Amino acid sequence: MKKKLIALLMCFSLVIAAGCGASDTNSSDSESSESAQSTSANDSGSNKLITIGFSQVGAESDWRVANTASMKSALSEKNGFKLIFADAQQKQENQIKAVRDFISQDVDVIAIAPVTETGWETVLGEAKDADIPVIIVDRMIKVSDDSLFSCWVGSDFQKEGVNAAEWLVNYMKEKGKTDKQNVVVLQGTIGSSAEIGRTKGFGDTIKKYDNFNILAQQTGEFTQAKGQEVMESFLKQYNDIDVVIAQNDNMAFGAIDALKAAGKAPGKDVTIVSFDAVKAAFKSMIAGDMNVSVECNPLHGPRVAELAKKLMNDEKVEKIQYVDEKVYPAEIAEKELPNRQY
């Protein structure tokens, strides 16, 4: 309330200042065109930039790099924002510290792509006390009081897991493979909603079919290096792996390298199911190494920019917004690659 009042007062004083400027015949063309540009940029009738602090998970995957690029490009000065970006290096403690820094800098809006689902109550309570709206983006959080954040935009990770399992069941059926299929799962960061949703969606669906057997599941932290390391250890423990479920493309790339080094043919001897559908995954499918990638859309920047402007204008926003996502099997990879934005 206090922040909005200050924003209103600022708008009021800017309107008066603009009125004075209109009668000032000495004002230069370049000054007035700059001011017109930023006014239309933030849509609020004010030429004040919206200061937004964004706590990003890290740079663990191609998906994350695309997400950061989307956020930075949408939250630009040209679009009416002053962005304060903080990379948490996959650690929630760094995110909590960043959010406290944003509060002490009195930003207008806070955006968080949370590493994990839980552990947010205290710091979000501090943001609420400071009257700073919070947008959660990409992964979800679990809080007992949902007034601790204004809105969320991201993926339905559980649905992605269900989609992966259904694709796998149909694929094996089409191939006439009715014998037992041994599956290993490379999970993402444990406790992140991306890992929780994909593990549950895939696990609950696949257990309805008795020809699939999950041999093991372990985290590869959503990184290529860790994905490769965990796959190497699976290969030492099991000599009968038929399917790898990698909860993101980068872990799949690591697993593919490990399989090749062990003399196996990924995409043929071993079916590779992945998530994200980044450009490099399409190239991997075209090369015959990966069988499918379930899309996870990282292009949240424009959505977050729109939500931030609405919140600053005291407009109503949808609390929960899921993005549309598809499933991309290898057969359509070549046709789809030119259309990919990330």
Does 303 engage in binding with ligand AHR (CB under 6 A)? no
Does 295 engage in binding with ligand AHR (CB under 6 A)? no
Which residue from 276, 289, 295, 325 is in contact with ligand AHR, where contact means CB under 6 A? 276
Query: Of residues 219-238, which lie at the interface with ligand AHR (CB under 6 A)?
Result: 222
Does 296 engage in binding with ligand AHR (CB under 6 A)? yes
Alpha helix positions (H), 105-187: 121-129, 157-174
| From 45-53, 61-69, 91-99, 318-326, span contacting ligand AHR (CB under 6 A) | 61-69
Q: Which phi and psi (to 5°) does residue 221 adopt?
A: 55, 20
| From 3-11, 55-63, 162-170, 257-265, span contacting ligand AHR (CB under 6 A) | 55-63
User: Do the Cβ atoms of 182 and 208 come closer than 8 Å?
Assistant: no
Which residue from 46, 47, 56, 61 is in contact with ligand AHR, where contact means CB under 6 A? 61
Does 275 engage in binding with ligand AHR (CB under 6 A)? yes
Instruction: Return the number of the residue (46 or 192) whose C-beta is nearest ligand AHR.
Output: 192
User: Do the Cβ atoms of 154 and 139 come closer than 8 Å?
Assistant: yes
Instruction: Return the number of the residue (112 or 312) whose C-beta is nearest ligand AHR.
Output: 112
Instruction: Return the number of the residue (64 or 310) whose C-beta is nearest ligand AHR.
Output: 64
24 Cβ contact partners less than 8 Å away, ≥ 6 residues apart: none
* Residue 327 beta carbon to ligand AHR: minimum distance, rounded to whole angstroms: 14
Query: Of residues 317-336, which lie at the interface with ligand AHR (CB under 6 A)?
Result: none
Instruction: Return the number of the residue (138 or 242) whose C-beta is nearest ligand AHR.
Output: 138
* Residue 58 beta carbon to ligand AHR: minimum distance, rounded to whole angstroms: 8
* Residue 65 beta carbon to ligand AHR: minimum distance, rounded to whole angstroms: 9
Integer angstrom CA distances of residue 89 from 78, 95, 115, 187: 28, 9, 9, 18
Does 242 engage in binding with ligand AHR (CB under 6 A)? no
Tell me the C-alpha distance between 273 and 246, whole Å.
6
Beta bridge partners of 184: 216, 244
Alpha helix positions (H), 75-177: 92-104, 121-129, 157-174
Element (H, E) at 182: strand 181-187
The residue with tokens 């924002």 is 81
In three-state secondary structure terms, 341 is coil
Tell me the C-alpha distance between 124 and 213, whole Å.
41
Contact pattern for ligand AHR over residues 138 through 157, marking x by CB under 6 A: xx------------------
In angstroms, how far apart are the furthest CA atoms of the chain?
A: 84
What residues make contact with ligand AHR under the rule CB under 6 A?
60-61, 63-64, 138-139, 194, 222, 248, 275-276, 296
